[in-house]
Amino acid sequence: MSQKPVVLIAEELSPATVDALGPDFDIRHCNGADRGELLSAIKDADAILVRSATKVDAEAIAAAPKLRVVARAGVGLDNVDVSAATKAGVMVVNAPTSNIVTAAELACGLLIATARNIAPANSALKNGEWKRNKYTGVELAEKTLGVVGLGRIGALVAQRMSAFGMKIVAYDPYIQPARAAQMGVKILSLDELLEVSDFITVHLPKTPETLGLIGDEALHKVKPSVRIVNAARGGIVDEEALASALKEGRVAGAGLDVYAKEPCTDSPLFQFDNVVATPHLGASTDEAQEKAGIAVAKSVRLALAGELVPDA
């Protein structure tokens, strides 16, 4: 039997992750999205590496008597029960800056796609339809972009979309208005943001407070010309409420990367021509995956050696 600590890789990570872990571990793989496979494989694990599809909840932690570290190769920790881990003496690490540029770039892409009908025009043309009038869009310049959550990714989106000539406002009660002003961003209340924005982009963590924040009530306060992007977490924009708003013409379009339940291959939202949807690709670039993999591999090495893991 192997004496090396077992590191369980439960999702597809960059090959750089295994290189950065080095030769000191018994590296095993499993499909973390398959509950039975996860609960069986985690029994022997000293560390587990995941992205967002593996639920490292209290049950999984209880099934892992040797577990010392849960490493999330990305930003959001909503698929890890941090308090159950802490109670069990298991360290939780992530790679909070690894994919922020990549995620911001996708959000910008979705904003541009919703403004210019890129996805439906592409599908129509490939189906032999040359419809220039049908896919007339709107300009970004001089429009107001409402950033909900002006953290790492929200700030990068604000900076990038300013270059398109957009006016940027934000809702984030935890950000000092002076810091926002330095970025050229005006802080508003959520209601004010909903009322003035031509585009809204959501960059919040998924918490009990943010779940459904952009729901039916909020979607009755927006301009009917608004385009909404959610590349943060599914459920922050309520999918049912968004579908009703799109159906009733109270929202002009949406760009979605994340869904309340993932994988999501069937949603009422997919029937709308003015919804552009990607399958949780926010962090999916070679660069971001390599950075995330290397960062968590380093943290796992330190944690399993009993050394201090510095903040990333």
Chain contacts with ligand MLT (rule: CB under 6 A): 51-52, 74-76, 99, 282-283
Decide: is 280 part of the binding site for ligand NAD (CB under 6 A).
Answer: yes
**Residue from 64, 75, 245, 303 in contact with ligand NAD (CB under 6 A):** 75
Q: How is residue 251 annotated by DSSP?
A: S
Output the smallest distance, CB 235 to ligand MLT, in A. 13
287 as an active site residue: the answer is: no
Catalytic residue among 51, 203, 227, 280: 280
Nearer to ligand MLT, 51 or 301 (CB): 51
Output the smallest distance, CB 171 to ligand NAD, in A. 6
Decide: is 174 part of the binding site for ligand NAD (CB under 6 A).
Answer: yes
Distance CA 216, CA 305 (A): 49
Q: What tokens were used for 165? A: 């000539």
Q: Tokens 């890129």 map to which residue?
A: 118
Decide: is 191 part of the binding site for ligand NAD (CB under 6 A).
Answer: no
Decide: is 235 part of the binding site for ligand NAD (CB under 6 A).
Answer: no
233 as an active site residue: the answer is: yes
Output the smallest distance, CB 148 to ligand MLT, in A. 16
| Contacted by 301, from ligand MLT, ligand NAD, none: CB < 5 to 8 Å by type | none
**Contacting ligand NAD within 24-63 (CB under 6 A):** none
| Contacted by 231, from ligand MLT, ligand NAD, none: CB < 5 to 8 Å by type | ligand NAD
3-state SS class at 162: helix
Distance CA 111, CA 230 (A): 10
Decide: is 149 part of the binding site for ligand NAD (CB under 6 A).
Answer: yes
Distance CA 272, CA 247 (A): 8
Output the smallest distance, CB 103 to ligand NAD, in A. 4
Non-local CB neighbours of 114 within 8 Å, separated by 6+ positions: 199, 227, 228, 229, 252, 253, 254, 255, 274, 276
Decide: is 237 part of the binding site for ligand NAD (CB under 6 A).
Answer: no
Nearer to ligand NAD, 103 or 218 (CB): 103
3-state SS class at 255: strand
What's at 198, amino acid-wise?
D
Nearer to ligand NAD, 81 or 257 (CB): 257
Decide: is 157 part of the binding site for ligand NAD (CB under 6 A).
Answer: no
- Comparing CA positions, the residue from 74, 64, 118 lying closest to residue 96 is 74
Strand 69-72, strand 47-50: pairing: parallel
Distance CA 292, CA 156 (A): 18
- Cite the DSSP H helix spans in the chain: 15-21, 35-41, 58-62, 82-87, 100-116, 118-126, 152-162, 177-182, 190-196, 216-219, 239-247, 286-304
Decide: is 234 part of the binding site for ligand NAD (CB under 6 A).
Answer: no
Nearer to ligand MLT, 124 or 277 (CB): 277
Nearer to ligand MLT, 93 or 252 (CB): 93
Catalytic residue among 233, 239, 290, 301: 233
